[in-house]
Amino acid sequence: MLELQSLSIDQYGFIGNVFSFGLAVMASTTLFLWLMMSSAAPTYRMAITISGLVTAIAAYHYLQIMLSWDGAASVASGEVVVSGEGFNRAYRYVDWLLTVPLLLVELILVMKLSKAETLSRSIRLGGAAALMIVLGYPGEVAGNVGTRAIFWILSMIPFIYIVRELVIGLKESISKQPDNVKGLISKAAILVVASWAFYPIVYLLPLLGVTGGSAIVVVETGYTIADIMAKAVFGLLIFVIAIRKSEAEADVNAVEAAPAEQASPVKKGS
């Protein structure tokens, strides 16, 4: 299943371009987030730093994925010839293992909850995310449909837990957020759920009758689109939330500072 020799030349070339596009998006989003970070108030810079870290880790892995793709096969006398090196699917999973818990922490951080709540939510959701990825890998590299199906089911357990926590658990915290970001934070939570739902569906497609070269195209393109939504688009949304919250807090501080100045005017020269 998912063997490279079933690819046509066009399919092999197309997937290479998809990886290259993924690398460009991740690297440029990293630059943008880190360069623009100082526009947000210091409290929110940690969330933006982490957003940039997530896309930086992804950019590195897309480079590795691209190199592994190039090394795994080549085009000779009108067909795709496999080199025997194999295409390393572990890069994606190691990338997810590092970035998925960070993404969840990012969402929690930008909400500025109490220290205890931030820590307990980060540990629970981050741990479940790591478990979900680890359980998915054996099925991804398995040669048969049965193993893929079993690990899909196992990995869906922590997945459903995370989605449930995000939808139900965060709802209450969202209602406490300032009005100008409430909608955006709900959108970020929806983007997480929608883009995350993509992964188990893509994983399942080879089990639903998509076979040969098309299966590899669908899986690799599907994961890359989902990665761009879950990391780059999500990271930019977090950036906008951080800027809006910084602005709202600057306004509150200005209003609080104004009457205080009137009550005790500082006399120059006294």
Q: What is the spatial distance between Cα 180 and Cα 230, in angstroms, rounded to a whole number?
A: 23
Residues that bind ligand RET (CB under 6 A): 96, 99-100, 103, 132-133, 136, 152, 155-156, 159, 196, 199-200, 203, 227, 230-231
Nearer to ligand RET, 230 or 241 (CB): 230
Q: What angle do CA 11, 17, 19 make, to 5 degrees?
A: 105
Smallest gap from Cβ 197 to ligand RET, in A, equals 8
Cβ at position 218, least distance to ligand RET in Å: 13
Q: How far is the CB of 210 from ligand RET (least distance, A)?
A: 15
CA–CA distance, 90 with 229 (Å, rounded to integer): 21
Phi first, then psi: what are they for 246, rounded to 5°? Answer: -65, -45
Q: Identify which of residues 12 and 62 has a Cβ nearer to ligand RET in the complex.
A: 62
Phi first, then psi: give them for residue 76, nearest 5 degrees.
-140, 140
Q: How many CB atoms lie within 10 A of CB 173?
A: 16
Q: Which is nearer to ligand RET, 8 or 49 (CB)?
A: 49
Q: Are 93 and 135 in contact (CB under 8 A)?
A: no
- Smallest separation, CB 104 to ligand RET (Å): 9
For residue 122, give both structure tokens.
């980060």
52: region left, alpha or beta (phi > 0 left; psi from -120 to 50 alpha): alpha
By beta-carbon distance, which residue lies closest to ligand RET? 136
Q: Any idea which residue has 């987030």 for tokens?
A: 33
Minimum distance, C-beta of residue 176 to ligand RET, in the bound complex (Å):
26
Q: 73 or 132: whose CB is closer to ligand RET?
A: 132
